[in-house]
Amino acid sequence: MNLGLFVSPGDSLTKQKQSGQLDRLNKYYLSVYAKHFDRIHLFSYGDSGQSFALPKNLTLIPKPGLIPNYLYQLILPFIHRKIISDINVFRVFQAPGGLPALVSKIFFRKPYVVSDNYDYVRFARVENRPFLATLLKLILPPILKYADQVITPQTIPNGVDPKIFKPDRKLHQPYLILSIGRLTLQKNFEKLIQPIGASRYKSKIKLVIIGVGPRQKLLEKSAADLKIQLKIIPNIDHRRLVSWYQKAAVFSLTSQIEGQPKVLLEAMSSACACLTADFPGNLIKEGVTGMIGKNDSQLTAKLDQLLSDPGLSLRLGANARQLVISRFDLNKLVLKEIQLLQLCAKA
């Protein structure tokens, strides 16, 4: 049985490596797929001339350099028709990358499974990308309609490896606030900086944000204006994030909207005391697995509460970790996904 993999438009293993996520993709997905399928073909929107340490039965198929991404999505199944004909089922990692799978189904009757993890149209609008929002509004309905199976956060959620992301109190730093993500409008880090500026612990707090993006200078200026100690660290390898979660007194996520954020799951698995804004896609249950601030003043008050009450932080972190172990263990979730793919291939 052979598996085809479609990534999001413009994505590639090179980009996954740059963002620190290639190890996670390879260890928990590609290597596990390789044990359950005879051959795997991964279609990329880059990676020409690149080499990666991948499973032996996985073939990386890079995009020809001169073809625009939007056009390549439509003609990919015809360019690689011989390979497509040999594939039994396709896995589409995110719904916006599903056009090649849809074309393959229409012309070659190939089944596909697609993830629909969040409101892609709203994400595009939050990022002030109206053309992309309009395009997604047009293409997503048929991609989802004709999929053989649609994976949602309710059926197979995002996951994390709790054996890797685990607490270590020896590394704990009592006033370190951690956040992780792209420095964009959607991630809304300004909403974290302002409440810290009003905290009674402001002079002691060290804010660390791990990520890259266009808003870095604006964030640095906002922090400097409020006399907040801010350190922005470029993307690091997925495995190196573990020690940062272990150091953090509080992990905070103040996005405008999320799907099912992996960084929040990682923080919960590491038994961090989590403080979030009130956004769609939030995994935190107020007062049980973390705290939620609906406005700046609430975020400040709850941040101060967590910093002043180590017992509360420990209890919330322990509850969060137990939730991850019971519902979000990535090792179990990937096997569930593979069973679904195999069923679709046999149907």
For residue 150, the model assigns a pLDDT of 98
Confidence of residue 346 (pLDDT cuts 50, 70, 90): confident
- Residue 82, classified by CB atoms within 10 Å of its CB into exposed (0-12), middle (13-18) or buried (19+), is exposed
Residues 6+ apart with CB under 8 A from 126: 185, 186, 256, 257
Is the pLDDT assigned to residue 285 strictly greater than 90?
yes
For residue 57, the model assigns a pLDDT of 98
Placement of tokens 């490596």 in the chain: 17
Q: Which of 47, 37, 50, 44 is nearest to 8 (CA)?
A: 44
Domain segments of the chain as ranges: 2-159+330-346, 169-327
- How many C-beta atoms surround the C-beta of residue 134 within 10 A? 12
Give per-residue pLDDT as tens, 71-90: 999 999 999 999 999 999 99
- For the segment(s) 2-159+330-346, the CATH number from 1.10.3720.10, 3.30.930.10, 3.40.50.2000, 3.40.50.300 is 3.40.50.2000
Ramachandran angles phi, psi of 274, nearest 5°: -105, 135
| CATH for the stretch 169-327 | 3.40.50.2000
Amino acid, res. 196: I
C-alpha triplet 155, 43, 345: angle, nearest 5°: 50
Q: Are 245 and 267 in contact (CB under 8 A)?
A: yes
For residue 314, the model assigns a pLDDT of 97
Q: What is the three-state SS of 260-282?
A: CCHHHHHHHHCCCCEEEECCCCC
pTM over 0.85: yes
Q: Which of 234, 301, 229, 315 is nearest to 272 (CA)?
A: 315
Q: For residue 23, what is the enclosing H or E element?
A: helix 22-25
Topology agreement, domain 2-159+330-346 and domain 169-327: yes
